[in-house]
Structure formats: C-alpha cells, structure tokens
C-alpha cells in the first residue's frame, strides 16, 4: 500500500510540475508587453484553460486506470487462493477515512528516518507452496464434509421416496380391490335391470303382436264390407240408370210430349218468320224485346206442360 501511495504521489508531483510549466510558458511567451487589451487577456486565459484542463483530465484518467489495474491484481491473486473479496463503493467517499489517509501520508513521508523505520518493520511472509497446499487441503476437507452431508441427505430422501412409493402401491392395490367390488355389484345390478327390461320388452312385443293381429282382422272385415258396399252401390246405380232410360222412353211415347213438341216447332217457325219480316223495319229492337217475351212465355208454357204431364203420367203395368 505504501509503494502505491509513493507511486501516486510521484505521479501527482510530476503532473503539478507540468501545470506550473504551462503557466511559465504563458508568462515567457505572451507577457512581454506592459499593457494588454481585454480581448488579449481573454485569449490568453482561454488558451491557458485549455492546456490546464487537458493536463488535469489526463491525470484523472490515468489515476482511474491505475486503480483498476491495482484492483485487478488483487482480485486475481485472491482467486488463486480461493478467496472472495468484496468492495464497498460508498466507503470511497468517506471523508473521515480520506483525512486519515492524508494524515498518514503526511506523517510517514516527512523524513527519510520515518521511511527507514517503516522499511524495518516486520512484514508478512509471502505464501509459499506449503501455504497453498494447506489452503487446498482445507478447501478439499470442507468440500468432502459438504459432500458427505449431501450424501446422507440423499439417502434420507431415497428412504422417504421408497416408503412413499410403498404407500402409493398399497393405496393403488386397495383402490383396485374397491373398484373391483363396486364393479361386480354394479354388474349384478345392471344384469338384473337388463333382465327386467327384457321381460318388459317381451311383454310389450306380445301385446303389440296381438293388437296387430286384431287390427289386421278388423281391417280385413272392413275391406270386405267396403267391397260389398261398392258392389251394391254399382248395382243400384245401374238399376237407377235403366229405370231412368225406360222412363224417358215411355215419356217420349206419350201424346202430350208429341203435342208439346209440335207446338214448340210451330212457334219456332212463327218466330223465324216474324224476324224475317221485321229485319228491315225501325222497330227491330222493340220487336226483339217482344219476341223474347213471347219466346220466354212459350218456353215457360212448354216447361209447365212438361212437368204437368210428367207428374200426372202413370206408366202401364
């Protein structure tokens, strides 16, 4: 640590000398006249600011990089001996600790005698191969102990797993037995229910067949009655048609029918003659009306005579 502080102090002194030389160069190169304008003074200060800023920035960057390299060496050495180092960044801004470091630097770097005393102080002996072996043996022992603990824990877990597996097997066997018993009971109940349903279906089938036979016999009787009724109807219709024809034939042979037919023939001839005479007269429209009345009267007379003769007519036995 003291060597690093010496190294940092030498770098700091060197950088301060460089900054001082910047000011000396400005004095020697620019301050040769007695009076300067505001612009000239401003230009000189701006140039000096740029130079000083560059020097300070370079120093800060070098200090940060140097600290990184130092920490890298420390962590690398610690990893070789299986050590885990941790840092607390918040302690880097601890004002009290920084003041103690500054005081330590002032008191320990004032005189050479102090440096000689510091160099004569006993130091820790570096780790040799024996130390490395001892650390490795300790680490191996620790790992072996941890391995034994893990093995014992694994055996306990295996024992628990085997007991759990046995319990699971027993539970599965009991469940299968229970399911088998329930299945047998369900099969018996279902068989009984199926037998009952089969008996019911057989009874319904017998009833349906009896009903179907009765319906078939009844339908056959109805069909026979219908056929006989149709035959009787046809026979009656045929007799009625023969009677109507015979009645019409006998009616046409009566004297009243012949007289009415002669009267209608004469009236038709008279109407035709009258129409021929009145075709050229101006009273044709009125004649048509009168002729229609006459014709309707004749027709009415003929129909009435027909019905009178028809209802009074008695056929010969």
Tens digit of each residue's pLDDT (9 = 90 or more) over 55-87: 888 888 888 888 888 888 888 888 887 777 777
CA distance 121 to 105: 17
Query: Residue 207 has which token pair?
Result: 């009833």
pLDDT score of 298 = 52
- What is the band of 300 on the pLDDT scale with cuts at 50, 70, 90? low
Tokens 């301060």 belong to residue: 16
Q: What is the average per-residue pLDDT within 249-267?
A: 78
Q: Compute how many other C-beta atoms are within 10 angstroms of the C-beta atom of residue 166.
A: 10
* Domain end (from 31, 53, 87): 87
User: Which pLDDT score is estimated for 83?
Assistant: 77
Instruction: Please check whether residue 27 lies inside any domain of the structure.
Output: yes
Q: Of 38, 60, 87, which residue is a domain's last?
A: 87
The span from the CA of 215 to the CA of 125, in Å, is 126
Provide φ and ψ at 116, rounded to 5°. Answer: -65, -40
Within-domain flag for 298: yes
Least confident of 15-19, 135-139, 141-145: 135-139
Nearest to 86 by CA among 94, 95, 75: 75
Report the pLDDT averaged over residues 255-280. Answer: 81
Range 12-15, long-range pairs (CB < 8 A, 24+ positions) = 12/59, 15/55, 15/56, 15/58, 15/59
CB count in 10 Å sphere of residue 147: 10
Distance CA 306, CA 300 (A): 10
CA nearest neighbour of 78 among 130, 124, 135, 134: 135
Whether 83 is covered by a domain: the verdict is yes
Q: What is the DSSP letter of 109?
A: T
What's the rounded Cα separation, in Å, for the pair 310 and 291?
28
Distance CA 260, CA 269 (A): 14
**CA–CA dist 137, 131 (Å, integer):** 10
Residue 208 falls within a domain, yes or no?
no
Higher pLDDT residue, 34 or 201?
201
What is the predicted pLDDT for the residue at 303? 56
pTM of the model: 0.32
Query: Which residues, in sequence order, are CB contacts of 247 under 8 Å at separation 6+?
Result: 315
Whole-angstrom distance, CA of residue 147 vs CA of residue 145:
5
Question: What's residue 110's pLDDT?
Answer: 65
Residues 80, 82, 87, CA angle at the centre, nearest 5°?
A: 95
3-state per-residue secondary structure call for 18-70 = HHHHHHHHHHHHHCCCCCCCHHHHHHHHHHHHHHHHHHHHHHHHHHHHHHHHH
- The structural domain count of the chain equals 2
Annotate 256-303 with three-state secondary structure: HHHHHHHHHHHHHHHHHHHHHHHCCCCCHHHHHHHHHHHHHHHHHHHH
150: confidence class by pLDDT, cuts 50, 70, 90 = very high
pLDDT tens-digit series, residues 158-193: 889 888 888 888 888 889 888 888 877 887 788 888
The answer as to whether 279 is a domain residue is yes
In a domain, residue 296? The reply is yes
Averaged pLDDT score across all residues of the chain: 77
Instruction: Give the residue numbers spanning the domain of 33.
Output: 2-87
Whether the per-residue pLDDT at 313 is higher than 50: the answer is no
Is position 284 within any domain? yes
Among 66, 87, 108, the domain-final residue is: 87
């Amino acid at each position: 640590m003291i060597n690093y502080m010496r190294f940092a102090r030498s770098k700091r002194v060197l950088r301060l000398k460089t900054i001082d030389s910047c000011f000396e160069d400005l004095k020697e190169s620019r301050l040769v006249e007695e009076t300067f304008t505001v612009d000239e003074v401003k230009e000189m200060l701006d140039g000096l600011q740029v130079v000083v800023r560059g020097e300070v920035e370079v120093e800060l960057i070098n200090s940060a990089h140097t600290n990184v390299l130092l920490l890298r060496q420390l962590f690398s050495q610690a990893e070789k001996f299986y050590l885990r180092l941790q840092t607390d960044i918040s302690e880097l801004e601890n004002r009290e600790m920084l003041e103690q470091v500054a005081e330590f630097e002032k008191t320990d770097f004032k005189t050479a005698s102090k440096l000689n005393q510091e160099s004569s102080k006993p130091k820790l002996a570096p780790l040799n191969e024996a130390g490395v072996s001892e650390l490795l043996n300790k680490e191996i022992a620790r790992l072996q102990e941890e391995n034994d603990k893990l093995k014992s824990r694994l055996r306990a877990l295996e024992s628990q797993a085997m007991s759990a597996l046995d319990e699971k097997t027993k539970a599965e066997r009991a469940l299968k037995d229970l399911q088998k018993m329930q299945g047998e009971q369900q099969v018996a109940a279902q068989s009984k229910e199926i037998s009952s349903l089969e008996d019911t279906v057989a009874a319904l089938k017998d009833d349906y067949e009896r009903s179907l036979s009765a319906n078939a016999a009844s339908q056959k009787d109805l069909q026979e009655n219908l056929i006989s009724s149709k035959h009787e109807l046809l026979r009656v219709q045929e007799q009625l048609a023969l009677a109507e024809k015979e009645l019409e034939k006998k009616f046409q042979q009566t004297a009243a029918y012949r007289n009415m037919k002669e009267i209608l023939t004469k009236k038709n001839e008279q109407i035709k003659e009258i129409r021929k005479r009145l075709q050229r007269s101006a009273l044709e429209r009125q004649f048509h009306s009168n002729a229609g009345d006459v014709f309707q009267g004749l027709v009415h007379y003929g129909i009435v005579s027909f019905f009178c003769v028809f209802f009074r007519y008695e056929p010969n036995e």
